[in-house]
Structure 1
């Protein structure tokens, strides 16, 4: 994912980026476009190049009446982009309706946003719509079958180029690679979200993703698409594949069933399938680092153990439940025998998934297996892995990390384990989450939007994971003191940010959201599929050092770019505007939490 689409990008003839003209006295108001629950902390950010000397009015759109007049509070934080910043707090307004904020003198206005109990109801279903766009094999969004010949194996116990059936799964992002690294997490995350909130998901499509209910929640239909692929990737108790295709994929944008990539058997034919050996791999000069397979085996085992419970109890399908249970046990054993991590492979480029953690995944697997089997050995092993993982595997207590180095971006094992251990160990697990929340809260206090993540590549993935961590910590401990912090992270994603844009495609409808996304369906078919979480802003220093980036149109957000972070709604910016499968799936629990 994210590897440079050299040929495509260099065909464009656009020159330098034009800077938009704007008034130095212009006042900008940033709110959550998707809206607020009545009980939410509701705080807008106001900024300008010059001091703001007026009150702001919250106006009910339907009646035209002023619901509240607010004196803005000056923020003493970093002045990103040379702007001065204020906050306007309208949390006391709980009456349902559509509202907008307006400067009393300047008449500067925010976009219209709702307040109401149903504001987030069903919004997680849009994220599932994007997941269906990413399906490999049969793709219901495009109504086509692609990559049916995946794949031919390398590094496995069988001879190189032996055919194995690894069709299915999800394309990773704007490219068409498939990784167990990300797919295992996406699958397990969706299953945990369902297990926590089984009554909040809808049934509008069948197992193939086609319109029409099938008696199964759509989130489970989507998770099963991942489960079926994980089972293919684990064809025998001692065998595991970890990746299909590599950066030979990056030959410009293409419709999946017309893939022009050639892995040695001709274009649109077989693709390389990499066997997990726990050792460094690579067909060319760029070798991965690897010390084991426990990260992949553990996450996959967690997903399958969750599935075994859900399909047994909720879907009354003991046969599939038994298959998942058996595979979870053998995968966990693989992780025990080969502790360590397997990274992604590249072919001709230096970029890959750099995951270096694994104890968190084994904790999650052992906790889910204990809940599924009641075997106390899993419980004791889960506790040991929890201590081994601690907070050391988390980006939340660090100022930076390399690409996917500390993945997944939240240790779901702590929450999975919390409900089955004694009170003292529960406090230990709560403390691991709390350490990360407090560290990110300190970072958040240094910027005007109160965002707690470092702006490394895929900052939005970090942000939704941080929001999820606060939610899970609250459920574990009952401690609600971080609710305002949680809402600030959520609100950033839907427009309370320098650019005033949502970070999810077509959310909300009629709002400001990513359009010129780095995906083939948009570039070639002009399709705008809702629910895709884009990578998000990156440090300006990172953006300036990435190869092959070139904006293809004038930057509509030019006046809001700053010395700290940049974001572009532009096909040419693969670093900030490419929607990702795992980032989207990793947002589902957060969105479902707010859908109450």
Structure 2
């Protein structure tokens, strides 16, 4: 072979994707950036050991503000890469930066250092919540599912009409669950109570773009509250789900729903009554022992709302309505302790919640703050001891889908402020046990992530972040701040794929686009702020039904035998944004927002 041909072959090899991938270096950072006093650690990996120093460069001037030696990470290696960390925590000067390998020339995306790095993205998450609305949808400016619904399993005859219109669609599908909506509503209200000065007023109650004198997070929470009131039409009645997996007939615009539940396409949908007993219209039966999970969470939301609408919004009429609902829902939970799961029809997948004492603890604590009646405080403490740490996924290595839901016990934080010092330590200990267990798990992977990669792993991660934040507020212990930063940074790009897990965040970054939603597939709408399900164990991905990637996997080089993530419409297991996952990230996002 001539020298010319050898040179040509060498050039072709250099440009071959596999060759270039093997010899490339990858920098993973938080694309949004870092608060000034944050731990700031990039993960760098490549096919070979990385020894080159990395420079931090101020984007405005091109000035090198620091040079840092990588530190090898001695943990399990994913996909055969070798990993190291680059710690630049000492840099606190505000500005836009990028990181660069001194020898390889590899650069990161541009990111911000400054206490404004996270902007006000809690408002971006609310944008996604508004596009999930059922009834009037402001994103589409149309009304859907006006005929929800017809009852099943209730004290009234099956197929009786009841008005359960409104609420939120659950995810890329158009079902509605009290399981998730009650948590989303209560979470938003607690986030507002903790950070009342960090929310904007740019939208009205219908989600239309003009202010109404009420923070937008409360407008969104009220959308949930109004639906919960409909799902609780009488003191002894509670519905828990509207529609079922007959919904899954392909992608569709909400007001043109082709699903047929026995009354024709785009007509009535079933409204399932919470009986506290197993349910199912076909062969798949849910498990149930009571209704306290649903009644408790809903009561907590109503008690929070009663305080906020009375004191902050000067609306005693709505406040009284929420107070009465809180008391009747809590009573319903007391009389029917246990859990009610979601219903499926023709597929085996459902929300498998099996916990309820945490919800009753939260409800009792909030109602005590509302009423001052000591019996609620004593009951809250009893439920706290019942729920303890063992009801949490944080001390387990796996769990069924939504088995231990919500993914954080907010009741511990609510109760902490109203108990004696000894009981405060008990509650702090419950959070601490989970943090320590997840910290041990985090030591086994190069990104120091503490969650098991079961379905909806991102929901677990935002809940773990929230748990650390609440623990810090309760105890004053900030020793887990580096762990907290690592969990947060994963969600914005410090992960194998270098992608944010929120649609549209950051605006010019790498984030999910090919999401499993009708609005993207049929209308091309890219609605920002949605938290996608997130990576799953490869074994889970391979076992799920109906998963087919529709495009070549742009992250193929970073998939491995351990975990996978795909930005692909065909992967509902990792790339479907969820309503409750997004709502459950609002407290976290608000905590890190502009100070």
Deviation by residue 1:302-335 (Cα, 9 ceiling, x = unmatched): 0000000000000000000000000000000000
Aligned partners of 1:44, 1:324: CA distance in 2, in Å? 47
Q: In the alignment, is the contact (CA less than 8 A) between 1:535 and 1:578 conserved in 2? A: yes
Aligned partners of 2:483, 2:20: CA distance in 1, in Å? 32
Deviation by residue 1:251-304 (Cα, 9 ceiling, x = unmatched): 000000000000111000100000000000000000000000000000000000
Q: Check 1:555–1:211 CA distance in 2 against 1; reply closer, same or farther (3 A cut).
A: same
Aligned partners of 1:463, 1:130: CA distance in 2, in Å? 19
Deviation by residue 1:185-233 (Cα, 9 ceiling, x = unmatched): 0000000000000000000000000001000000000000000000000
Give the 5 Å matches for 1:43-122.
43-122=41-120
Q: In the alignment, is the contact (CA less than 8 A) between 2:389 and 2:434 conserved in 1? A: yes
Give the 5 Å matches for 1:162-241.
162-241=160-239
Q: In the alignment, is the contact (CA less than 8 A) between 2:203 and 2:210 conserved in 1? A: yes
Q: Between the two structures, name the one with larger relative contact order (CA 8 Å, sep ≥ 6).
A: 1
Deviation by residue 1:541-575 (Cα, 9 ceiling, x = unmatched): 10111111110000000000011100000000000
Aligned to 2:398: 400
Aligned partners of 1:437, 1:594: CA distance in 2, in Å? 19
Aligned to 2:379: 381
May I ask how many residue pairs the two structures share in their alignment? Answer: 578
User: Displacement, 1:121?
Assistant: 2.8
Q: Secondary structure in 2 aligned to 1:175?
A: coil
Q: Secondary structure in 1 aligned to 2:433?
A: helix
User: Displacement, 1:51?
Assistant: 1.2
Q: In the alignment, is the contact (CA less than 8 A) between 1:502 and 1:514 conserved in 2? A: yes
Aligned to 2:352: 354
Deviation by residue 1:63-107 (Cα, 9 ceiling, x = unmatched): 001010000000001110000000001111111111000000110
Q: In the alignment, is the contact (CA less than 8 A) between 2:51 and 2:69 conserved in 1? A: no
Aligned to 1:9: none
Q: In the alignment, is the contact (CA less than 8 A) between 2:54 and 2:68 conserved in 1? A: yes
User: Displacement, 1:20?
Assistant: 6.9
Aligned partners of 1:518, 1:224: CA distance in 2, in Å? 27
Deviation by residue 1:109-129 (Cα, 9 ceiling, x = unmatched): 111101112112311100000
Please state if 1:422 is matched with 2:433: no
Aligned partners of 1:22, 1:265: CA distance in 2, in Å? 58
Q: 1:288 aligns with which of 275, 286, 289?
A: 286
Q: Secondary structure in 1 aligned to 2:166?
A: coil
Q: 1:532 aligns with which of 530, 537, 543?
A: 530
Please state if 1:340 is matched with 2:342: no
Q: 2:326 aligns with which of 304, 325, 328?
A: 328
User: Displacement, 1:22?
Assistant: 4.0
Aligned partners of 2:51, 2:433: CA distance in 1, in Å? 39
Q: In the alignment, is the contact (CA less than 8 A) between 1:20 and 1:556 conserved in 2? A: no
Aligned to 2:257: 259
Deviation by residue 1:11-46 (Cα, 9 ceiling, x = unmatched): xxxxxxxx9774311000000001111111100000
Aligned to 1:41: 39
Q: Secondary structure in 1 aligned to 2:543?
A: coil
Please state if 1:310 is matched with 2:308: yes
User: Displacement, 1:53?
Assistant: 2.1
Aligned to 2:495: 497
Aligned partners of 1:497, 1:392: CA distance in 2, in Å? 29
Q: In the alignment, is the contact (CA less than 8 A) between 1:533 and 1:583 conserved in 2? A: yes
Deviation by residue 1:122-171 (Cα, 9 ceiling, x = unmatched): 11100000000100000000111000000000000000000000000000
Aligned partners of 2:526, 2:34: CA distance in 1, in Å? 25
Q: Secondary structure in 2 aligned to 1:80?
A: coil
**TM-score scaled by structure 1?**
0.96
Aligned partners of 2:239, 2:50: CA distance in 1, in Å? 58
Aligned to 2:444: 446
**TM-score scaled by structure 2?**
0.97
Aligned partners of 2:381, 2:437: CA distance in 1, in Å? 24
Q: Check 1:264–1:443 CA distance in 2 against 1; reply closer, same or farther (3 A cut).
A: same
Looking at CA atoms only, which structure, 1 or 2, has the larger radius of gyration? 2
Q: Secondary structure in 2 aligned to 1:100?
A: strand
Aligned partners of 1:547, 1:249: CA distance in 2, in Å? 16
Q: Secondary structure in 2 aligned to 1:131?
A: helix
Aligned partners of 1:23, 1:504: CA distance in 2, in Å? 26
Aligned partners of 2:112, 2:119: CA distance in 1, in Å? 13
Q: In the alignment, is the contact (CA less than 8 A) between 1:62 and 1:98 conserved in 2? A: yes
Aligned to 1:474: 472
Aligned partners of 1:79, 1:445: CA distance in 2, in Å? 12
C-alpha RMSD of the superposition: 0.7
Q: 1:247 aligns with which of 245, 251, 255?
A: 245
Please state if 1:154 is matched with 2:187: no
Q: 1:574 aligns with which of 567, 572, 590?
A: 572
Aligned to 2:9: none
Q: In the alignment, is the contact (CA less than 8 A) between 1:153 and 1:272 conserved in 2? A: yes
Aligned to 1:462: 460
Aligned partners of 2:46, 2:19: CA distance in 1, in Å? 15
Unaligned runs of 5+ residues in structure 2 are 1-16
Aligned partners of 2:190, 2:316: CA distance in 1, in Å? 19
Aligned to 1:7: none
Q: Secondary structure in 2 aligned to 1:543?
A: helix
Give the 5 Å matches for 1:552-571.
552-571=550-569
Aligned partners of 1:29, 1:452: CA distance in 2, in Å? 21
Deviation by residue 1:435-459 (Cα, 9 ceiling, x = unmatched): 0000000000111001000000000
Aligned partners of 2:439, 2:491: CA distance in 1, in Å? 17
Q: Secondary structure in 1 aligned to 2:65?
A: strand
Aligned partners of 1:439, 1:212: CA distance in 2, in Å? 46
Aligned to 1:12: none
Q: Secondary structure in 2 aligned to 1:118?
A: coil
